[in-house]
């Protein structure tokens, strides 16, 4: 199968079909049908009337109808004409050079044609190249009112085929202090020059026009000017009236006599009265002070009494300090719903009180389960020997300080409760240990001696030089004394803090010295 072209070079325009003459010779000994294709320009469509069928030795001229896509760049493109035979599966090729004519197309438009402003207005001007050759554009104004300046950013640019360029046009008007709205219309023109890299002598000029309008507002609007004038007129009227009254009216007027039988009723003026609500928040586990508890006061005289007092409805708010103390001064007397809540546990206590005078509250935080993790390290113990440790945990006694020892003044009387007191809180289901006595740090129902003071114990062993133990269900918040016995030596940690709801507490490392080493000082407690 042989193929040849009548013309090796053809000139086509994008989107316009053109004809290419191809001579095909069947060099095989059988009748064969052929298919013609064109490769080199993506998106090109090629059509032939029917499917040419050639006898052995027959030569036939076939007309190819070729149509290039509209976005084909201008210039010379090298393509290949391929002829495929169906029966013999032979392939024949012939080169074809297509010269694409430049076809520049310029589109100009303003996205925003009207802008309002006091001093200037910005307009985005869009320049689109819908042709197949690059163009160089330059933006300028053809008609602008007197005193109006126009600035282009950028002023010139090169726009590639099928690309869009945006030019920022700023129209600045003259100073306009007072008056109405001024309208400045500016005519814009875009001059473009098309060029083809492969055809430097072939150039074409294009133009596009657009109009934008800048409506300039005054610095002082008409409404503001009228308001200022009205203020001036009223002020002058008041001054003139006051001068006239002082000039023509007597300096002092005789008091009016009260009619017979009229009694003057004088109400005593009430000065501002404020009461103070104070107290201390303690832990229900060991009577220790609890910091960070929020105090909320919701008025029952102006709000629904059946609802729970929340931070959104509270009229007064406070928080306990590091010593558990709180104080709300300058509180208006009345009946309030007093609530105590903490972060992570929500509402702790709530009650109704009549605050007619300064008083105090001593709330208790219900205990919740806490956990204590200990890492016991036996100094001098071989790695292959099991470490055994006996751990005992007992709550710390926190006696109530007297007024003489602390130098504090006599506390305020207890606040008067309104209605029935709330039911006592139920023990947390996680607290399996017996409740703490209300008079000491010993467990209720146990002898109050040093031997039986340990409320929680744990025994553990492990192979190596250290072991980790977790004591759970400790009433918290609170502080505990921890005793660790290992290898015949004992280490005591005093006042270890335990917080409620600790899922994975950090381990507290306890180093037990060897039997032949002197006793070390008490490890620090975080």
Q: For residue 124, what are its two tokens?
A: 């985005």
Close Cβ partners of 249 (under 8 Å, ≥ 6 residues apart):
none
CA dist., res. 307 & res. 310, Å (int): 9
Cis check for the bond before 439: say yes or no (omega within 30 of 0): no
Q: For residue 156, what are its two tokens?
A: 């010139």
Q: What is the pLDDT of residues 465-485, one digit of tens each?
A: 677 777 777 777 777 788 888
Q: For residue 203, what are its two tokens?
A: 């150039």
At 237, which helix (H) or strand (E)? Answer: helix 222-248
CA dist., res. 64 & res. 60, Å (int): 13
Close Cβ partners of 20 (under 8 Å, ≥ 6 residues apart):
5, 7, 10, 63, 64, 66, 81, 96
Tell me the residue length of the chain. 526
What SS3 state is found at 231? helix
Q: Looking at per-residue confidence, does 197 or 172 come out higher?
A: 172
Q: Are 127 and 133 in contact (CB under 8 A)?
A: no
Q: For residue 201, what are its two tokens?
A: 């002598």
Q: What is the pLDDT of residues 234-258, one digit of tens each?
A: 999 988 888 876 666 554 544 444 3
Q: Can you give the pTM of this predicted structure?
A: 0.39
Q: What is the pLDDT of residues 406-424, one digit of tens each?
A: 555 666 788 888 876 666 6
Cis check for the bond before 154: say yes or no (omega within 30 of 0): yes
CA dist., res. 171 & res. 401, Å (int): 80
Q: For residue 456, what are its two tokens?
A: 């929680």
Report percent pLDDT > 90 for the chain: 23
In order, the DSSP letters of 301-349 are: SSS-TTSPP-TTT-SEEEE--TTSEEEEEEEPPEEEEEEEEETTTEEEE
CA dist., res. 83 & res. 191, Å (int): 47
CA dist., res. 449 & res. 177, Å (int): 93
Q: Are 150 and 167 in contact (CB under 8 A)?
A: no
CA dist., res. 415 & res. 275, Å (int): 11
CA dist., res. 51 & res. 241, Å (int): 109
Strand order in the sheet with 368-378: 466-476, 368-378, 508-512
Count of alpha carbons within 13 Å of 131, Cβ hemisphere only? 25
Q: Looking at per-residue confidence, does 211 or 370 come out higher?
A: 211
Q: Are 418 and 356 in contact (CB under 8 A)?
A: no
Exposed / middle / buried, residue 524 (Cβ in 10 Å: 0-12, 13-18, 19+): exposed
Confidence category of residue 316, pLDDT binned at 50, 70, 90: confident
CA dist., res. 92 & res. 34, Å (int): 10
- What mean pLDDT value characterizes the chain? 78
Lowest-confidence region among 110-119, 279-288, 366-375, 510-519: 510-519
Q: Looking at per-residue confidence, does 351 or 517 come out higher?
A: 351
Q: For residue 520, what are its two tokens?
A: 């070390």
CA dist., res. 505 & res. 523, Å (int): 18
Count of alpha carbons within 13 Å of 222, Cβ hemisphere only? 4
CA dist., res. 188 & res. 207, Å (int): 11
Mean pLDDT score, 420-444: 49
What secondary structure letter does DSSP report for 521?
P
Give me the torsion for CA of 284, 287, 289, 290, rounded to 10°: -10
DSSP-derived pairing of the beta strands 53-54 and 2-5:
unpaired
- pLDDT at 449 > cutoff 60: no
- pLDDT at 309 > cutoff 50: yes
Mean pLDDT score, 31-47: 90
pLDDT at 447: 39
320: nearest Cα among 342, 301, 336: 342
Confidence category of residue 446, pLDDT binned at 50, 70, 90: very low
């Amino acid at each position: 199968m042989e193929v040849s072209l009548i013309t090796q070079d053809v000139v086509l325009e994008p989107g316009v079909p053109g004809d290419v003459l191809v001579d095909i010779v069947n060099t095989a000994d059988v009748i064969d049908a052929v298919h013609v294709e064109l490769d080199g320009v993506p998106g090109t469509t090629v059509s032939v009337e029917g499917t040419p069928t050639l006898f052995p030795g027959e030569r036939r001229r076939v007309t190819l109808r070729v149509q290039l896509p509209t976005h084909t760049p201008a210039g010379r493109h090298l393509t290949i004409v391929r002829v495929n035979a169906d029966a013999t599966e032979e392939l024949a090729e012939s080169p074809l050079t297509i010269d694409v004519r430049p076809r520049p197309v310029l589109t100009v438009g303003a996205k925003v044609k009207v802008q309002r402003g006091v001093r200037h207005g910005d307009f985005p001007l869009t320049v689109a190249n819908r042709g197949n050759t690059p163009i160089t554009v330059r933006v300028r104004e053809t008609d602008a009112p007197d005193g109006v300046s126009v600035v282009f950013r950028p002023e010139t640019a090169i726009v590639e085929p099928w690309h869009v360029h945006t030019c920022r046009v700023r129209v600045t008007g003259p100073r306009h202090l007072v008056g109405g709205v001024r309208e400045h219309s500016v005519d814009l023109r875009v001059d473009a020059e098309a060029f083809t890299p492969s055809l430097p002598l072939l150039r074409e000029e294009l133009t596009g026009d657009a109009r934008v309008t800048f409506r300039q507002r005054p610095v002082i609007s008409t409404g503001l000017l009228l308001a200022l004038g009205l203020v001036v007129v009223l002020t002058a009227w008041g001054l003139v009236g006051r001068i006239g009254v002082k000039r023509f009216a007597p300096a002092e007027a005789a008091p009016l006599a009260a009619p017979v039988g009229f009694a003057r009723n004088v109400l005593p003026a009430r000065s501002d009265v404020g009461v103070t609500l104070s107290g201390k928040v303690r832990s229900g586990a060991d009577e220790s002070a609890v910091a960070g508890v929020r105090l909320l006061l919701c008025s029952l005289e102006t709000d629904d009494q059946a609802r729970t007092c929340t931070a959104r409805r509270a009229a007064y708010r406070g928080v306990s300090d590091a010593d558990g103390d709180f104080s709300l001064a300058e509180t208006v007397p009345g009946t309030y719903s007093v609530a105590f809540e903490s972060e992570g546990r929500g509402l702790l206590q709530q009650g109704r009180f009549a605050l007619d005078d300064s008083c105090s509250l001593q709330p208790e935080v219900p205990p919740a389960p806490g956990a204590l993790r200990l890492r016991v390290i036996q100094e001098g113990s071989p790695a292959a020997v099991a470490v055994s440790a006996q751990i005992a945990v007992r709550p710390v006694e926190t006696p109530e300080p007297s007024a003489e020892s602390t130098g504090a003044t006599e506390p305020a009387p207890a606040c008067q409760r309104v209605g029935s007191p709330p039911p006592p809180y139920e023990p947390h289901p996680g607290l399996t240990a017996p409740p703490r006595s209300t008079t000491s740090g010993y467990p209720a129902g146990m002898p109050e001696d040093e031997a039986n003071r340990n409320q929680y114990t744990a025994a553990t062993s492990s192979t190596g030089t250290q072991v980790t133990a977790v004591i759970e269900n400790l009433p918290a918040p609170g502080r505990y004394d921890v005793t660790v016995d290992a290898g015949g030596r004992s280490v005591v940690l005093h006042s270890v803090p335990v917080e409620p709801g600790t899922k994975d507490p950090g381990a507290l490392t306890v180093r037990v010295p060897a039997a032949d080493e002197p006793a070390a000082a008490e490890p620090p407690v975080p």
